[in-house]
Amino acid sequence: MQSLYNATVWTVILRSPASSPPSPPQETKVEESNKVQEDREEENEESKARLKLAIVFAMIGVACLTGAPLGGKILESSDKGGNWVPAQLFAGSSVAVGGMLLVGARCVREGWGSGRI
């Protein structure tokens, strides 16, 4: 009986509120709203990155789907059938136009100066 009494006493002592570990501090409403705002900003940045990636993949997809057939038609329509110069000119001009569009987009967004590349 004595051991049952000791076990009960120790259980009461160990489970008393004074001996329980301190609870973590409660967050205030301002801290919670700041965390919610930070989470929204992170989600917004992630969605912008996803959108940019989707645009790039869409452009690459169009180029891949149209470039090879157009090059083949140009090669077929050349005088001798095996003349690669027109197809090479088409490919080179496509790369040049793409480069000019990239430079133009950078100039529109950041200006021509070399401040931030």
- Domain coordinates of the chain in residue numbers? 43-117
Residue 95 amino acid letter? V
User: Is 32 a residue whose pLDDT tops 90?
Assistant: no
Task: Identify the weakest region by mean pLDDT among 21-30, 34-43, 72-81, 94-103.
Answer: 21-30
Where b means 16+ CB within 10 Å and e means fewer, 68-82 reads eeebeebbeeeeeee
More confident residue, 20 or 73: 73
